[in-house]
Homo-oligomer: A and B are copies of this chain.
Amino acid sequence: MSRKYDELMTHVEKMQALEMAESLFSWDMETGAPREAAPLTARVMGSLSSQYFDILTSPQVGELICQAKEEELNEVQAAIVRELAKTRDRLCRIPAEEYREYAELIAGAAQVWARAKRENDFASFAPVLTRIIEMSKRIADYSRKEGQSRYDAMLWQYEEGFGQAELDPFFALLRENIVPLLKRVTQEGEPISAAPLHRSFDVEKQRKFNCFLAEYIGFDFGRGVLAESEHPFTDGLHNHDVRITTHYYENMLESAMFSTIHESGHAIYEMNVDDAVTLTPAGGGASCGMHESQSRLMENMIGRSPSFWEPLYPRLQELFGEELAGVSREDFVRMINRAEPSLIRTEADELTYCLHVMIRYEIEKELIDGNLGVSELPQVWNDKYEAYLGIRPANDAEGVLQDIHWAQGSIGYFPSYALGNAFAAQIYHAMGREVDIDGCLRQGNLEPIRGWLKEKIHRFGRVKPAKELLQEATGEDFNPSYYIDYLTGKFRSLYRL
């Protein structure tokens, strides 16, 4: 007798194919699609998304999920059914027509945003953003649990268990510690000039080095692609097809490099997921924050450490001998770790990064649960940058238009970036008890580091929830003090305070 679980899987296969197709279309739109295809591509993606919706919300699949839950399932199978049930429950509350309309809106919004950013024209993006916010609110109303605010419902979508009740104190802790630390750094720290990194660096040579760098981190080019896009991102179709992008600037050597390391951190997470969950709802990373922890761990704790550059800096100098003349390895490491208030989140240093996220968190709270209107956004954005970072964007392109997230409908996503950093510090600390991290880096051998991450985090995919995974990998519940300690120790030493 055939099991209901297996029958359920035939539907899962269809849904996964539709999801992969959507993934490929969004990758393609950012990396290669012709400009004028966008409106029709949006229609096509809207249709794929609504076909996914139709299958998942069908009574037949609902019944199979209930029946499969009654069968004897192993851990992986149980996780697949659990994830499926969770998504179905959320979607079932949204009327089909509304879901379709939303999907189509989102599919077209990225191009509108990109043009608005390019032309520094917030007004042209505002109507689309207004619709996105309106629809997101309605959708949150359908799915929010009792006692949850709309914004809480959005936050949980990206990081289960982290609503405002958890995030308000988390950001407060960061604020209490980082703001005074940043003040000391800028006022009393020994200044670090990074001028040499802003010389002219041939993009073709940068491409060569970034390709090498991705492979060095562990990116497997047999199962992945490295391309270029306006805003670097990772698109994991499945563990045998993971795509990342970077963005080259002739006058910012470090920008592409750390984007590449960051996205490679995401990518090896996806690549290391066990084949048992490939092309299933348990196949991606455990959560947005957990995913971000893997990219930030590679980018910051590993990629900006002095040991990492011991074997690598000579290679960089081989390519850019003239441009980096007179820059010692020690100078270089100080430069890539310098902290200074800046306008662009993705270019922000480790110390100020969480303030960028905090600003977005505060704004989203007001946009969703408060009374902030879209037309007021540029002003509020600029005021907050002035208040927290002491600098004011000169235009909206380097202000409120800088991130693609809202155009993608990802409201409530930003806080997971800050959580990711805190997860990363906690994981890095736990790894350090079992692996000689600096020793490995000095020898240019990242295998023990990757091995530990694969064993403790990556291979599980979404089989274990993020909170549980963190607890099991590190031996304790979420504890942001590791992040505070890490930042405090690092920047006091770097700035000789």
Residues of A within 8 A of B (CB): 13-14, 16-18, 20-21, 24-25, 28, 32-37, 39-41, 43-45, 47-48, 51, 220-225, 227, 237-238, 240-243, 278-279
What are 25 A-B contacts with C-beta separation under 8 Å? A13-B47, A14-B51, A16-B44, A17-B43, A17-B47, A17-B48, A18-B48, A20-B44, A21-B24, A21-B48, A24-B24, A24-B25, A32-B32, A33-B225, A34-B225, A34-B240, A34-B241, A36-B222, A37-B237, A37-B238, A37-B241, A39-B240, A40-B238, A40-B241, A40-B279
Are B221's CB and A34's CB within 8 A?
yes
Secondary structure at the A interface, as helix, strand, loop or mixed, is helix
When distances are taken between beta carbons in the complex, the residues of chain B under 8 Å from A48 are 17-18, 21
Are A223's CB and B37's CB within 8 A?
yes
Closest CB-CB distance, A362 to chain B, in whole Å? 39
Which of B25, B221, B278 is within 8 Å of A40, CB to CB? B278
Closest CB-CB distance, A107 to chain B, in whole Å? 11
Which chain B residue shows the least CB distance to A20? B44
Which chain B residue shows the least CB distance to A49? B17
Which chain B residue shows the least CB distance to A25? B24
Known: A17-B48, A21-B44, A28-B24. A34 touches B224 (CB 8 A): yes
Query: In the assembly, what is the distance between CA of A18 and CA of B48, in Å?
Result: 7
Which of B21, B37, B40, B223 is within 8 Å of A21, CB to CB? B21
Known: A44-B17, A47-B14, A225-B32. A37 touches B279 (CB 8 A): no
Query: In the assembly, what is the distance between CA of A225 and CA of B279, in Å?
Result: 29
Closest CB-CB distance, A99 to chain B, in whole Å? 15
Query: In the assembly, what is the distance between CA of A320 and CA of B88, in Å?
Result: 61
Are B51's CB and A223's CB within 8 A?
no
Which of B14, B21, B278 is within 8 Å of A25, CB to CB? B21
Query: In the assembly, what is the distance between CA of A425 and CA of B223, in Å?
Result: 46
Closest CB-CB distance, A465 to chain B, in whole Å? 26
When distances are taken between beta carbons in the complex, the residues of chain B under 8 Å from A35 are 222-223
Are B36's CB and A223's CB within 8 A?
yes
Which chain B residue shows the least CB distance to A37? B241
Which chain B residue shows the least CB distance to A38? B240
When distances are taken between beta carbons in the complex, the residues of chain B under 8 Å from A241 are 33-34, 36-37, 40-41
When distances are taken between beta carbons in the complex, the residues of chain B under 8 Å from A45 are 17
Closest CB-CB distance, A244 to chain B, in whole Å? 11
Closest CB-CB distance, A496 to chain B, in whole Å? 46
Query: In the assembly, what is the distance between CA of A24 and CA of B224, in Å?
Result: 17
When distances are taken between beta carbons in the complex, the residues of chain B under 8 Å from A242 are 34
Closest CB-CB distance, A39 to chain B, in whole Å? 8
Which of B28, B34, B223 is within 8 Å of A34, CB to CB? B223
Are B279's CB and A36's CB within 8 A?
no
When distances are taken between beta carbons in the complex, the residues of chain B under 8 Å from A227 are 32
Closest CB-CB distance, A246 to chain B, in whole Å? 15
When distances are taken between beta carbons in the complex, the residues of chain B under 8 Å from A279 are 40, 43-44
When distances are taken between beta carbons in the complex, the residues of chain B under 8 Å from A278 are 40
| Extra contacts besides A34-B221, A36-B222 (14): CB < 8 Å | A14-B47, A17-B43, A18-B51, A21-B25, A33-B225, A33-B241, A34-B224, A34-B240, A36-B240, A37-B240, A40-B238, A40-B279, A43-B279, A51-B51
When distances are taken between beta carbons in the complex, the residues of chain B under 8 Å from A14 are 47, 51
Query: In the assembly, what is the distance between CA of A225 and CA of B37, in Å?
Result: 11
Query: In the assembly, what is the distance between CA of A382 and CA of B37, in Å?
Result: 44
Closest CB-CB distance, A277 to chain B, in whole Å? 13
When distances are taken between beta carbons in the complex, the residues of chain B under 8 Å from A39 are 240
When distances are taken between beta carbons in the complex, the residues of chain B under 8 Å from A44 are 16-17, 20-21, 279
Query: In the assembly, what is the distance between CA of A278 and CA of B40, in Å?
Result: 9
